[in-house]
Each structure stands twice: as structure tokens, then as C-alpha cells.
A and B are shown apart, each in its own frame.
Chain A
Amino acid sequence: MIPPVLSSLIQVFIFPGFIFILSYAMFCEWVSRKFVARLQNRVGPLYTGWEGILQPLADSIKLLAKEDITPKAADKFVFALMPVAVFALPLTAIFLIPIQSLTNLWGYSPIVSFEGDLIIVLFLLSVIILSIFLAGWSSANRFGIIGATRAALQMLAYEIPLGIAMIGPAIFARSLSIGKIVEWQAQSMHNFLSAPNLMAIPVALLLAVGFIICTVCLLAELELRPFDSPEAETEIVHGWQVEYSGKKLGLLRLGHDVKLVLASALLTSLFLGGPIGPWPIPPVVWFLLKTAVCVLILSNASALFARLRIDQMLGGSWRYLAPLSILYIMAVQIIAGLM
């Protein structure tokens, strides 16, 4: 038996913590770049490692070794702090998501878990928005500031339907803990397979609607293509990241990759049954498979669509997604009450 201190250190730093998530985040960036390249009839990164699999690693090392410029007019402290926040906050949120337990091959448990950790994840998502805004604002660049305001506008608009849609499975599971939601999904799947009943159909349909709402909102949170006006290269150079270089840019890029993993991990654990699957395969493999599918869905959407105008982007949230998510949560309440 490993002593508990050592095992929690391993959990936080190696598996399924820091190193595992970072390497998986880089792998996801490679998958999404390759996938988008194939959709555009290209080959994507090719010569860095096998089929370019080391490309995100090479990008990060190069950025870490580059000169780090701080503009004269920037607010030095906030400018240096925010990339760390953008990197650390999604990593913290992933610690709350069940992946694999260290001692039991068939068990899964998040590194930390308590009743209400879904709320903490939502809160961390909002703090990420704030730190992105501050990152752009503190750079004192006119493009950076425009990008930062656009980012805040967009993410706050999509935060609301995202939050409402993520509460849906929590109402069904009658718990605000992500681990319990995963358990509820496994339990009801098991119940359905052993004794099929009609009640499961509306539940599954509602969860599918929630999945779609969440996917659209997460695209906006990640600033992926239909919602990339905060970093629109043709208008505002690179949006809120414009003044960042060297290690800070490297941290921002890694933070974006970790956010991609967080988004697909949230979709996986709230709607796709988390790390649970048929028996002979351990939970971590199911987790990786399901999140990879979510990454493909997200990058497919970003390769298919063109950038929305700002008014379309805002209208899409306030006029369609927010009312839709309220209707959705009402339907969830009714069905959950009937069950």
C-alpha cells in the first residue's frame, strides 16, 4: 500500500493530475489541428515526431525559450499574473472531474470531491472570463482592450445558458456533485438495460438538448471559430493576446488547451456518462475516448463555421439560447417531478 500522503501527491502532480492533464491537453491540440487540417484537405503538422504529434510540445518549448516583452504602458503586475491565472484555473477545475482512482483499477474518483463541486466549476469558469478580460485590459494596447471587451461580452452572454444547461443533469441526479451525476447516469443506464421503460426516452432527449446547448456555449467560452471575434485576426490582430510574447504566450496557449480538455471533460461527465463504460476497459480509457470524441465535435464545429458578427453572436445567446435553456430546465423539472 502506498501511504496516503504520497498517493495524494502522485494524484495531484502525476496521475491523473498535472502531468497527465498537460500531456493530454497537448495531445488534444494535436488531434484538433490534424482534424481541422484534414477537413481543409491539408495534412497539418507532419515532421515533428510521428505525424507531428510533438508539435504542441515544440511550440511550447520554443515560446518558453523566447524573449519575454512587457510593454512600457502595461500594468506590469496584472500583465504578468493573468497568464498564470488563465493556465491554472481550468487545471484546478479539472481536479474536480472524476477520471480514475489510483488504488482501484475499476474505480474512478476526482482528486477532490464534495457536494456542490459543480457550482465551483461554474464559478471557476466565470473567474477565467475575468482573468481573460484583465489580461487584455492590462496590456494597454488598443487591440488588446477591444479584444478583452469583446471576450467579456461574449463569455458573459454564453455563461448564462451554459450554467442553466449544466444544472439539468444535476436536477435529474438530485445532486450538485459531478461524481454523483456520473453515478446517476450509470445507475439509470443499468436500470434501463435491465428493465426498459418509456420514461427513459424523454430523459434521454432532454439530455441531448442539454448537450447541444452546452456544446454551443462551450464553443463561445473557448473562442473557437464561430465565436472567435475576441481574437479576430483580420480586425484586431490577435485580440486580447496581442501584446503577449514568450513564456506568457506559452502559458496562454497551454491554458487554452487545458480549457479545451476541461470543456470536453465537462460534456463527458455531465452528459456522456463520464469515465464509465462496459467492464473490461478501465475508466481512464473510457474518459480519454469520450473526451476525444468531444474534442472532435468542438473542432469540427470550428472548422465548419465562419465567424459571427458581434450582434449575431450576442443575439444568438440572448434571443435563442437563453430562452431555450429556460424552456429546457422547465421540461427537466416537470420530467424529474414525474419520475
Chain B
Amino acid sequence: MDIVTWARTRSPWLIHFNAGACNACDIEVVAAITPRFDLERFGALLKGSPRHADVMVVTGSVSRQVRERLKRIYEQMPEPKFVVAVGACAISGGVFQQCYNVMEGVDKVIPVDAYIPGCSPKPEAILDGVVKLLKSAGY
């Protein structure tokens, strides 16, 4: 494994994007970075600016209103970048499926690298998903 892959997989900085979630998924994402679960063990930090982030954690069923903003934030992130879709809504629309105003999934708008199912997924599941993403990237 070359040194750049080594560094990349050991320092995934997250940005959290709420694309119309009911807020339960967001609370679980925030719970995953609390002292009890401590994502910083894997070198992950929560960043505010998309310019600093490597991994975008998207929750919610991408409403039509937020679609353009999601795309724009995604484009503001520097390459290489990854997207993790957290929760049933972000995967397929979940309980909001077939509503007139949702896109039914993050992957209809931007490419997604990892899906974490659940409504809402536990922090353990989010950690597991992030670590699996890192492993597939060569951890």
C-alpha cells in the first residue's frame, strides 16, 4: 500500500449534510462522534467547511428543494471525496417514498460510496459503515 492511500484512509474528515432528514438520523450521526463511540479513534474529525472534508455523510431523502444545494456542496469538496448515505431515507426515500417532493435517495443526485441502512441506524452501524468504507479504500 502506498503512503498516500495509507494517509487517506487514516484521516477521513467528515462533513455532515442534512438533506431533509427527520432529524433522528442526524442525532445518531452526532452520537457517533460523542465520547462513547469516539470516531476520532480512526482519525475522523467533524469539519464545518466542505473544502476541508473528505467524506460527506448525507442523511434524509433529498427533497427537490435541497437537491441543487447538495450538488453544490458536493462540488465544493476537493477530490478525492466519498459520500456515505445514512438511513433508509438517504438510500431509497424510506418513509417518504413516492412523495411528490423527494428525489428518493442520495444516489439519484450524487455518486454514493457506502450505504448504511436503518431507520435510524445506530451509531455502531454508522461506525461499522465508515470503517467498511475505509477498508474498501485500502485501510
Residues on A facing B (Cβ under 8 Å)? 33, 37, 40-48, 52, 54-55, 57-62, 65-69, 233, 237-238, 241-246, 249
Residues on B facing A (Cβ under 8 Å)? 3-4, 6-8, 10-11, 35, 38, 40-43, 47-49, 51-52, 54, 76, 78-80
Flag if A52 contacts B43 (CB, 8 Å): yes
In angstroms, how far is the closest chain B Cβ from the Cβ of A273? 35
Contact of A45 among B35, B40, B80 (CB under 8 A): B40
Contact of A61 among B7, B40, B78, B80 (CB under 8 A): B7
Give Cα A54–Cα B7 distance, bound, in whole angstroms.
9
Flag if B49 contacts A61 (CB, 8 Å): no
Chain B residue at minimum C-beta to C-beta distance from A33: B40
Contact of A42 among B4, B6, B38, B76 (CB under 8 A): B38
Flag if A37 contacts B40 (CB, 8 Å): yes
Flag if A55 contacts B38 (CB, 8 Å): no
Contact of A58 among B10, B35, B41 (CB under 8 A): B10
Given contact pairs A52-B43, A69-B76, A241-B49, a sample of 7 additional A-B residue pairs in the complex whose CB atoms are under 8 Å apart: A59-B11, A62-B8, A67-B80, A69-B51, A69-B78, A242-B51, A245-B51
Flag if B48 contacts A233 (CB, 8 Å): yes
Contact of A238 among B7, B40, B41, B52 (CB under 8 A): B52
Contact of B41 among A46, A62, A66, A249 (CB under 8 A): A46
Flag if A65 contacts B51 (CB, 8 Å): no
In angstroms, how far is the closest chain A Cβ from the Cβ of B35? 4
Flag if A37 contacts B48 (CB, 8 Å): no
Give Cα A59–Cα B80 distance, bound, in whole angstroms.
14
In angstroms, how far is the closest chain B Cβ from the Cβ of A126? 27
A/B interface sample: 24 pairs, CB < 8 A: A33-B40, A42-B38, A42-B40, A44-B38, A47-B10, A47-B41, A52-B43, A58-B6, A59-B11, A61-B3, A61-B4, A61-B7, A62-B4, A62-B7, A65-B4, A68-B78, A69-B78, A237-B49, A238-B48, A238-B52, A241-B52, A242-B48, A242-B51, A245-B51
Give Cα A73–Cα B63 distance, bound, in whole angstroms.
30
Give Cα A37–Cα B44 distance, bound, in whole angstroms.
13
Flag if A245 contacts B78 (CB, 8 Å): yes
In angstroms, how far is the closest chain B Cβ from the Cβ of A58? 4
In angstroms, how far is the closest chain A Cβ from the Cβ of B77? 8
Give Cα A245–Cα B41 distance, bound, in whole angstroms.
23
Give Cα A59–Cα B41 distance, bound, in whole angstroms.
13
Give Cα A88–Cα B124 distance, bound, in whole angstroms.
42
Flag if B79 contacts A62 (CB, 8 Å): no
Give Cα A339–Cα B41 distance, bound, in whole angstroms.
54
Residues of B contacting A52 in the complex (Cβ-Cβ under 8 angstroms) = 41, 43
Give Cα A54–Cα B6 distance, bound, in whole angstroms.
11
Q: A58-B6, A61-B3, A244-B51 are in contact. Are A47 and B42 (CB under 8 A)?
A: yes
Chain B residue at minimum C-beta to C-beta distance from A232: B48
Residues of A contacting B79 in the complex (Cβ-Cβ under 8 angstroms) = 66-67
